[in-house]
Structure 1
């Protein structure tokens, strides 16, 4: 667990009395005067509590690898021919929202990418027509794959 430098490791509720002193200058003489005694409570948070309280999110670094021609497929015979069993070339079961097919020479199996307007996907499959800067996004239903069509989208790789 990381603790920011401004935090105290203890998770105890601390009460600190602070005396505020103000130095006044009266006709060239310094006068110290106690203005107020303030009671301040500090609650020390863990990093997780701090991030949740202030809605701090992890910065994820990605690098654009350019524009790809993105199409879609489903596990039917029209899309996959004799490989219409829902099992990808990596041996994983194709899952909507996760699986994409890519050219392994461009994006090796297991590569995690972010596709503009679609979201994060993982390369789990290959395809005979998927060569170069082409991707195939998996959908469970043929109608969804057809509705997606073919689009040119920017692709980012997680660093």
Structure 2
């Protein structure tokens, strides 16, 4: 990101609000998406480790997102996700209508967002994948409501206390 420079970062920041189909593989835009996704991941992780996940509210539409997710993906294992669960051709066919259900409802529903593959581990290069914001919400809401993020919070609180 250092190679982009402050001017590039400012110019790129304004580009993020424009439709993605206006760009090819513009490195400035890609760098801005990466910075944006990292920032979102850092904030979420800090909140996740500070608040009981069962009471964490991610959007005003949490209940709808969670119920539709579990209706459409009743057997989806959110604890430890494989890339193919989200990115294979079959998965994309199933996820696309789910995601589009929230177009115009959830702000930035299709923004690139980092998701931890294994919910018991921190964000890392090996444990992170880029997904749409609505996929992130669906999976993290399930992890929170189903108690799967509790151990991570407890572990990180213990680290802070020692």
TM-score by length of structure 2 reads 0.23
More strand by share: 1
More helix by share: 2
TM-score by length of structure 1 reads 0.24
Larger radius of gyration: 1
